[in-house]
Amino acid sequence: MHKGQFTSKRGVPFCVCFRLYIHCWAGARRSREDRVGKRKLLERDRVELGERGARSAAMGHHCCSKQKVKRGLWSPEEDEKLVKYVTAHGHSCWSAVPKHAGLQRCGKSCRLRWINYLRPDLKRGTFSEQEERTIIDVHRILGNRWAQIAKHLPGRTDNEVKNFWNSCIKKKLIAQGLDPKTHNLLPASRTLLHGNGANPSNRAQFHSNGAIANDGGAVAATTQPFTISSPTKAAYDTAVTVGPPPEMAPAIYDVRNTAGMLMGHEHDQAAAGAEPIPGYPYTDNGGGVLMSFRDQNAGLQTSMDFMNRSSSSPSMDHAAGMPNGNGFSQAMGTAFVDVTAGMWTTAVESGMCAGIEVTQQQQPLAPQGLVHGEEVVGRPIVMNGAGAAAADKGMDMMDVSSVYGGAGATAFDLELMESCGLFCGAGGGTGNALEQLQWDC
């Protein structure tokens, strides 16, 4: 395993396309800036700081046992000395810095103070939502590798990122029923999500804000959940029993996210050489696998062509870890097919009906096989009712929730994805390129 390669908790390297599912919540964030800024000033002005420093100095220092060094918080005078010295002479050797700067500190302490607080390029203050999203996204992939995460946040230190994670983000994730280590649903939430499976319509609904409602989502989510509706077991049964009409044109699937993202794809299952999955109504249209994302909040739209290995957005390519635009591969396309098929199977077999609103549609195909934001006309796959409106539509609408929720926030459960086979190497070992993929840091 290469250093920097991200893996699942089972050690399976994940396909980078997970990184496209970037999520966050849109809940109001408590502004820390004023408070923190105030603290900084107070700290700077603290008169007693010298006394504390003197107390700390008596403690000695394990790595500098030969000399009497000061510990504890830095005084403004010490900061000034360090800044003045490092600015003038640099820090080629930290162990020599305190001596030359006239500080009774060990070099390690000087280094930390400089890196975490005195560096001129540091960005102080509260984390922006974008930074927060970045942290979550990268953490999902890299785990507690704070230094690597901090590299994605200019002006932020690993220590700062780590503290922000531990004091803020972690709690938010837990509040949303997510394991901050794996970013998967916590067992308790998972239980609530799956319920007893006896009656899908009574199944608990898990909302993106972490609230659990047992009655059709009575709890008003403060943020929009990522709702996907899926074919139900009835649909599955129907499909198995009846099967799609032979004259049926290639299907298009729009997976709608009420929070503002839309994605769709078409798939050539036969070309992929996969066995037909009962009820998984892909047809052979000779096309590729195309996902299109539209951020309805930001008004942005982009697409990924898994088969043709391209996307319409440099950021997508970057997110895929391939700044040259070749971030997509046949393996990814295959993997995507696998996972959607797996999700189909999982959802159907478990009765989870986890939210993928799959509407099978007659052709003609729109360019690239996508229809964005249009009323999908076609033959809805038969659904079970779970709530009046859903029942009327023949749909089983289970709010599976985004793991991250929030406006524009979507996510797939990594464990589910993994169980469905979307990891590097999926598709009969065709994922070599992906296995080599490393995080660009």
Told to check if 176 binds DNA by CB under 7 A, we report no
Interface region with DNA, contact rule CB under 7 A, candidates 157-165, 259-267, 361-369, 417-425: 157-165
Residues 183, 172: contact at Cβ < 8 Å?
no
Say how far apart CA 371 and CA 365 lie, in whole Å.
8
- Nearest distance, CB of residue 164 and DNA, angstroms: 6
Told to check if 58 binds DNA by CB under 7 A, we report no
| Cα-Cα-Cα-Cα dihedral sign, residues 331, 14, 369, 393 | positive
Told to check if 111 binds DNA by CB under 7 A, we report yes
Distances in Å between the Cα of 433 and the Cα atoms of 15, 234, 259, 440 are: 10, 39, 33, 15
Q: Rg for the chain (alpha carbons), in Å? A: 26
**105/294 with CB nearer DNA:** 105
Told to check if 9 binds DNA by CB under 7 A, we report no
Residues 360, 254: contact at Cβ < 8 Å?
no
Tell the burial category of 196 from Cβ atoms under 10 Å away from its Cβ (0-12, 13-18, 19+).
exposed
**71/81 with CB nearer DNA:** 71
**Which of 146, 280, 282, 344: binder of DNA (CB under 7 A)?**
146
**Which of 54, 147, 188, 240: binder of DNA (CB under 7 A)?**
147
Told to check if 163 binds DNA by CB under 7 A, we report yes
Residues 253, 211: contact at Cβ < 8 Å?
no
**Which of 2, 39, 100, 119: binder of DNA (CB under 7 A)?**
39
**65/130 with CB nearer DNA:** 65
Say how far apart CA 137 and CA 320 lie, in whole Å.
12
User: Mask: binding to DNA, 91-110, rule CB under 7 A, as x and -?
Assistant: xxxxx-----------xxx-
Told to check if 35 binds DNA by CB under 7 A, we report yes
Told to check if 174 binds DNA by CB under 7 A, we report no
- Nearest distance, CB of residue 140 and DNA, angstroms: 15
Torsion from C-alpha of 200, 202, 203, 206, nearest 10 degrees: 130
Could you tell me how many residues of this chain bind DNA (CB under 7 A)?
Answer: 50
Told to check if 179 binds DNA by CB under 7 A, we report no
**38/243 with CB nearer DNA:** 38
Say how far apart CA 91 and CA 118 lie, in whole Å.
13
**Which of 19, 23, 71, 133: binder of DNA (CB under 7 A)?**
71
Residue 359 phi/psi, 5° resolution?
A: -115, 115
Told to check if 52 binds DNA by CB under 7 A, we report yes
Told to check if 63 binds DNA by CB under 7 A, we report yes
Local structure of 262: helix, strand or coil: strand
**Which of 81, 113, 156, 203: binder of DNA (CB under 7 A)?**
113
Residues 427, 335: contact at Cβ < 8 Å?
yes
Say how far apart CA 343 and CA 318 lie, in whole Å.
26
- Nearest distance, CB of residue 163 and DNA, angstroms: 4
Amino acid present at 208 = S
Told to check if 160 binds DNA by CB under 7 A, we report yes
Positions touching DNA (CB under 7 A) are: 32, 35-36, 38-40, 42-43, 46, 48, 52, 56, 59, 61-63, 70-74, 91-95, 107-109, 111-113, 115-117, 144-148, 158-160, 162-164, 166-168, 171
